[in-house]
Each structure stands twice: as C-alpha cells, then as structure tokens.
Amino acid sequence: MRRTRLFFFALCACLLVGTQVRAIEMLPTFGDIDHIHLPALLVQHADGDQSLQLRAQDTTYIDNAQYQEMVIATKDMVQPFYVTIHVRQWKSVPITETWYEISHSEKKPVRLQRFDSGYLPLDNGDLYLVHLHGNWAAEGVPTVERLTRGVKTIRNSDGARNAHLDAPEVMISLDGVPQENSGRVLGAALCWSGNFEIRVAATDEKGFHFYAGIDPMASEYILSPKQVFTTPHLAYTYSDEGMGGVSRAFHRWARTCGMLHNGNATRNILLNSWEGIYFDITEERILAMMNDIAAFGGELFVMDDGWFGGKYQRNSDDAALGDWVVDTRKLPNGLKALTDAAKDRHIKFGIWIEPEATNTLSELYEQHPEWVLQERGRELKLGRGGTQLVLDMTNPKVQDFVFSIVDNLLTKHPEIAYIKWDANASIQNYGSPYLPRDKQSNLYVDYHLGLIKTLERIRAKYPNVVIQNCASGGGRANYGLMPYFDEFWVSDNNDALQRVYIQWGTSYFFPSNAMAQHIGGSPYLMTGRTTPIKFRCDVAMSGRLGMELQPAHMTDEERAQCTVAFADYKALRELIQLGNLYRLVSPFSEASPFSNQQSPAVQQVASLMYVNDAKDHAVLFAYGLTSFMKQASRRIRLAGLDPNRTYTLHEKNIRVAYHHDRNAWGEGEPCELDGKSFTGEYLMSVGLDIPLSTEYNIDYPSRIFELIVP
Ligand code: GLA
C-alpha cells in the first residue's frame, strides 16, 4: 500500500519542480508530446488550433480522514483553456484515482476529440494484460495475453452498457504470466458505464504507456465556454500479491469508499420470479412463490418482468415498457395485495423495472415519440422483441420521467424494499431529439451523465431501497454505476457449471456482496444440463445467494437441500459477503471444458475461500468440474490464513439423505474432514485432499467447509 502511494505521489511531484513544468508526465496532450506518446487529451480550440501545452499554475492538497488528494491547476500556454488534474489516494485502501476537469473561456465551443481519464508510464518487462471478455450469458472470461510492441486496445461501443463483450477493467502483470497469489500486478478500472477505450502502447523500445478513458469514436465532446467537463475517474491499484491482491483491493475500495451503495452491508436471500414463471404473472402464482421462499427461510421475493401494462399488455418482450401501471388483469388486487402478503409471511417485496426503455407498442411511445433516441429522417432500428427503443436520457424531461417511475412506485408502496433495474437495449439509433444539431456527438456521453444525474436524485430520496443493476445479466457490471446500486445480476446464464467460470472472472474486480447468484432449475433451461441441487446451492452460495426457478416444480430432495443451504448461508453470510476473497484453484488454469483439454486422469476442480480480517474464521468452497471413474483427486492449498493458528473444519450444506424410517429427506453424513483440525501453515503449504470423488456423486460434486479457530 505504501509503495503504491509513494509511486503515485512521486509521479505528481514531477509537476511541482517549478510552475512551468510540463504536465506530460501525468497528461500527455497533443501539441506537447514527442512522437512516442499518444495523446490522452486532444482538443480543437475555437479558432481551429489543435495544440495543447498545459503548464501547472497552482497545486493544492486535500487531506481528510479518508484520502489525500493533489489538485493541480494547469493552463494552456496560449489559449484560455484549463485542465485541473486530480490525484486521490485513499488511506484505508491501496487505490489511487485520477481524473481531469476540463474548461475554457474561448469565444466559441471547443471540440474535445480525445479526453482520457488517466495515463501511466510503465517500464519495459515481461508484461501481461488480463482483461475480461465475454458475452450475454457468458460474461467475465479472463483473457490473458503478453503485451508486445504496438498498441493494444480494448473498447466497448454498446452505447448503453459496457460490460458484455469487453469490460472497462484490466490488470497488468509486471512479472510474466500473472499468478493468483504472488507477483507484481497493477489493476485499473475506468469508472464509467458508457463506451470506453483502454490502450497499452509500446511505440518505442523505452517502455509501455497505459491510457484509459471514454471512447472518442462518434463522441467528440462539444464543450461550451465556461462549461466544466469532468472525465470519469480512473482507479488504479498495485499489489505484490498477484491478481488476488488486486481483487481484494478493489473489493475493499468498493465496500468502504462509497463505490458500492451500502457496500458494508450484507444482502438478503431472495427468490426472483423470472425463470420460474416468466411473463405468466398472476396473483395466485406470486403468492405461491412467496409461500415457498418464506418456507425455505428466504427473506425477499422479487416480482420480475410482466406485472405492468394498460392498453398494451406485457405478455412477451414486445410491448408495454414505459407503461408502469399494474396490469389488473393479472393482479386484480394491485401491488398492495402483494406487499401485504409479503409482510404476512415476514419477507420483503421487490419489483422489476426497465426505466430507460420503451416499446413502439406502448402508450408512452404513442404520447412521447420525441422521447426516444432516433436519427432524423431515418428508420428506427428496433431492439428486443422487435419493438424496443431507448429513451433519450440527455433530455431533462425524460430524466424526470425516469425518476418518477421509481418515485411513484415507492411513494405509493413504501413497503417495496428492492428494485431490479434492467437495461436490455444498446444504443442503436444514434441521435437525440433533445440535443442541438451541433452537439449530437455529445450523445454517448450525455446519455450516461443524464442517467447518473437521475440515479443521484433517486439515491438522495431513497438511500435505503436495495437496487439491483441488471443489463441482460452482467452488462453493466462497472464502477461507473456501482455507487448507485447495491448489487448486480452477474449473468442471465444460471447454469451452475458455467456459473463457476462466470463468477470466477467477475470476482476479479467486484465484491461478493454485489454479485447476485441464484440457484436455477435442473435441467437448466438454456443449456439443458442437469446438475444436482447441492452443486447448484454450493455455487450460488459463494456470493449473494438467491433462487430463480419455479419452487412448485422442485422435488422433496431439492426443497430439503435448499432449506439446509439457506440456514447454513445465514450463519456464514457475513464472512462470504464481506470477507477477503482468496481464489485457490482456477477453473481456467489448466484442462477446462472451455479449452477442450479435459483429461480423465486428474479431476479438474475450482476452489475459492473467504477469510475475515482477524483470520480466525474462513469458508472454503470446492467444486468438481469433471468426474470420471478412478480419477486422481486434486489437492487444494488454502491461502490467507494465519500459519500459526489451528483451524477446525466443519462441513456445511451437507448433502441431504433420505431417511427411510421417517419417509423423508433430512440431514446427511458429513465427509471425513468434518471436525478435523490443522494448522494454517499445513493448510497453506500441504493443503487438503477434499473428497470430491466419483463415489460421492458421479457428476458435479462439491463441498463447503467453515474453518474456525477453536
Ligand atoms: C433481462 C434480465 C432477466 C429478466 C428479463 C426480463 O433479460 O437479465 O433477468 O429480468 O430481462 O425481461
């Protein structure tokens, strides 16, 4: 941590040797750089001049309980153009943030043609880049590659969401192939929800140059005189504990520095209606689902898509977005009957909305066709359901409307404790009826500034409602929006096997109390894969546990297992949701179903654990990913423990057994490790041979252990 701080402040100090020092060390600008650098800032002044030579004018420091911040005011040598450079170093977490405030008093608007959030020079070495690539239903696949000469660019052009395909967070290993718990690794996250571009350039033999910011493609920002443009923050960390150290720093920063709403709080166990009943909502079905989640010991029920609509009904994905009135044909007694029923069952109630969208088949669109993004004189490009459109969040009237959706719901039904905020469309129509013609290129940026402004209003009035960030799954898992949300839906893919992989990659940057993980049905509807209920529970239990299936279709065994899982999870919740994550054996590390190199000889496993700050309480998860007869087991070495302490293992969520005497499912037998004690040193150097053998369960075996210092 100290090393990081020194590093960044040394960088800043370069600027302080006299007031005429070039700002290039922190902010390479076009017109002031040599041929080696790419610019982080490129502008065209009102008179057509494209050069920028910033010189430090004044430096101030902020020092409070949470952070130290250096604020360097700079000005161009010729034009009345100003950039204030901010460098904030958090005290409790090894995270540094940089961002720039850009303004001018030129006679006419200035065109910002590139406006990154930060720049960092890196020495030569065997550098490896780690970034998450994925897709809908297959998020968070870590992609690891050696950095070579030339420019490596990662970008996302979805417009509205930026974490499907390529995501705005990266790690750079400075010591070759990155390791999980050793080696020097730099982590960076651009705190932005729109299009971004991250570049690592090695344009000469001297070193590498890292840049990250808003993608300037189709996004030249037209900045009026006196207007201040603040770039998104870019957060860095540095760790000599490998990728795990980087992850833990981001997790702690998210939880303790306001980057995740209510970051230090634990989350409830819920049932979401979507994969259980889809659009087929009726009061009877909802009440039955509430009964079920309450019976399992769950704490919250969330009614997903399909509850709203007036003239147009929401029976599929092609209508009614925007018409946020209860469909009384489905719910004759309104939401009140549901919130009352939740109260009777001692659970909370939550509801789904997709506020930034509408359908051509909606009363909203009929009344306000000017509220959707559209290209003048061109045919509308339609999204989901063949009718979906994105609202123009640059328009203050649309922002008011979006605010009112949440405000109306929560004013009329203050019992609503949870909102799932979805976003299922990209920006396909590149035009804002609200923005003036000469500022159309501000759209990609102003959309997100409008969204953030609206979310800020919502949070100011409703700080306590839990809001889930969903964008067709994990499409908006980013630190631009996370401060307004309590959690995010990791993926629409609930297949427990693939979830091991998706959750693994997602945990590189995001903490477990933000990661919504649900027990799905089996065979799973998207993949057809059949997985045992224990495996499904154990996979979901490593983050924010929930359930998404039709409980009415569950077997007695499944019900019994879920009841055990919920009770055990409650006892471990604080540790799982707020503990320090150590990833032990990666599903990606060797032969994996993704790399097509399965070997029947050695079982492939994935394993991770959480440890509390005092290192006297931990929980270990182990999943068998391949199962063949007579397969060699895989020893798992633990991490993050105190080598000098002795830990006793207690198996959790033990697989239920059928009790013939009682004709019922009940408690099962723990494995032989249950009750055994080992020193931390033994567990971390020798490791455990966890019974995930084929005799236990031929497909998808898994175990959870609690570790306690007696
Ligand atoms: C998106 C979400 C799902 C579900 C549906 C409802 O796809 O990711 O979880 O809410 O919308 O239409």
List active site positions: 422, 492
Per-residue pLDDT averaged across 669-683, rounded? 97
pLDDT digits (tens, 9 = 90+) for 612-635: 999 999 999 999 998 887 788 889
Q: Tokens 């001018």, residue?
A: 104
DSSP states of 586-611: -TTSSS-TTTT---SSB--EEEEEEE
Measured distance CA(294)–CA(563) in Å, rounded:
10
Amino acid at 234: L
Vertex 39 angle, CA 35 and 42, to 5°: 125
The whole-number average pLDDT for the span 50-59 is: 95
Residues 24-44 have a mean pLDDT of: 86
CATH architecture of 270-489: Alpha-Beta Barrel (3.20)
Residue nearest to ligand 1 atom 2, measured at CA: 472
Give the end-to-end CA distance of the chain in Å, rounded to a whole number: 32
User: Measured between alpha carbons, how far is 436 from 238 in angstroms, rounded to an integer?
Assistant: 43
Asked if 232 contacts 204 with a C-beta cutoff of 8 angstroms, the reply is no
**Region 296-305: what's the mean pLDDT?**
98
Residue 667 has pLDDT above 80, yes or no: yes
Residue 666 DSSP SS3:
strand
Give residue 7's pLDDT: 44
Ligand 1 lined by 304 (C-beta under 6 Å): yes
- Could you give the C-alpha distances from 432 to 172, 225, 426, 435, 447, in angstroms and in order? 38, 22, 14, 5, 9
For the Cβ of 506 lying below 6 angstroms from any atom of ligand 1, the answer is: no
Looking at domain 9-256, its CATH class is mainly beta
Answer whether 40's CB lies under 8 Å from 213's CB. yes
- What is the position in ligand 1's atom list of the atom closest to the CA of 548? 9
User: How many CB atoms are closer than 10 A to CB 675?
Assistant: 10
CA 473 to ligand 1 centroid distance, Å = 7
- Residue with CA nearest ligand 1 atom 11: 472
Q: Can you tell me the mean pLDDT for 207-226?
A: 97
Task: Identify the pLDDT of residue 20.
Answer: 39
Alpha carbons 423 and 528: distance in angstroms, whole number: 26
Q: Where are the alpha helices (DSSP H) in 476-555?
A: 496-506, 533-540
Residue 223 has a pLDDT of: 98
Separation of 99 CA from ligand 1 center, angstroms? 34
Q: Say which residues have a Cβ less than 8 Å from residue 312's Cβ, sequence separation at least 6.
A: 319, 320, 323, 359, 361, 362, 363
Any atom of ligand 1 within 6 Å of the Cβ of 422: yes
Closest Cα to residue 58, out of 88, 25, 80, 84? 84
Mutate to test the pocket of ligand 1, among 476, 492, 502, 518 (most ligand atoms within 8 A of CB): 492
- How many residues in total does the chain contain? 710
Q: Answer positive or negative: Cα dihedral of 589, 595, 600, 601.
A: negative
**Residue 6 predicted with pLDDT over 60:** no
Distance 371 CA to ligand 1 centre (A): 23
Checking if the pLDDT of 592 tops 50, the result is no
Architecture per CATH, domain 581-708, reads as Sandwich (2.60)
Q: How confident is the model at residue 17 (pLDDT cuts 50, 70, 90)?
A: very low
Helix (H), strand (E) at residue 4: helix 2-13
- Residue 182 CB-density burial (10 A; 0-12 exposed, 13-18 middle, 19+ buried): middle
Instruction: Provide the 10 A C-beta neighbour count for residue 204.
Output: 12
pLDDT surpasses 60 at 168: yes
User: So what's the pLDDT on residue 696?
Assistant: 54
| Chain segment 474-523, per-residue pLDDT in tens | 999 999 999 999 999 999 999 999 999 999 999 999 999 999 999 999 99
Model pLDDT for residues 64-121, shown as the tens digit of each residue: 999 999 999 999 999 999 999 999 999 999 999 999 999 999 999 999 999 999 999 9
Residue 161 alpha carbon to ligand 1 centre in Å: 14
Band of residue 365 on the pLDDT scale cut at 50, 70, 90? very high
Ligand 1 binding pocket mutation candidate from 270, 305, 419 (most atoms within 8 A of CB) = 305
Backbone angles phi, psi at 474, to 5 degrees: -85, 25
Average pLDDT over residues 301-319: 98
For ligand 1, say whether the CB of 424 is within 6 Å of any of its atoms.
yes
Question: What band does 591 get if pLDDT is binned at 50, 70 and 90?
Answer: very low
pLDDT for 603: 83
Contacts of 239 by beta carbon, 8 Å cutoff, 6+ apart: 94, 184, 185, 187, 245, 246, 248, 249
Question: What are the residue boundaries of the structural domains of the chain, listed by start?
Answer: 9-256, 270-489, 581-708
How many whole angstroms separate alpha carbon 537 and alpha carbon 668? 15
Q: Helix or strand or coil: residue 518?
A: strand
Q: Quick check: CB of 492 below 6 Å from ligand 1?
A: yes
The most distant pair of C-alpha atoms in the chain lies apart, rounded to whole Å, by 90
Single out the residue of 163, 165, 186 nearest to residue 175, CA to CA: 186
